[in-house]
Amino acid sequence: MNPFGGIGSQTDFLLLKMDFSLPKKQRLAGKKQFESVFEEGKHVQTKLLKLIYLKTTFNDGSPVKAAFVAPKKKFRKAARRNQIKRLLREAYRLNKHLIFNNIEGNFAFVFLYLGKDLPSFKQMNEEVKAVSNLFLKKVSHEKNQ
> Quick check: is 139 in a domain?
yes
* Domain range enclosing 44: 22-144
> Quick check: is 98 in a domain?
yes
The phi, psi pair for 56, rounded to 5°, reads -155, -175
> Quick check: is 68 in a domain?
yes
**pLDDT tens digit sequence for 98-107:** 888 888 888 9
> Quick check: is 87 in a domain?
yes
> Quick check: is 117 in a domain?
yes
Distance (Å, whole) CA 24 – CA 139: 25
pTM (two decimals): 0.83
Q: Which residues pair with 68 in a beta bridge?
A: 111
> Quick check: is 134 in a domain?
yes
* CA neighbours closer than 13 Å in the CB half-sphere of residue 74: 14
**pLDDT tens digit sequence for 100-139:** 888 888 899 999 999 999 999 999 999 999 999 999 999 8
Domain harbouring 72, CATH code: 3.30.230.10
Count up the domains in the chain and report the number: 1
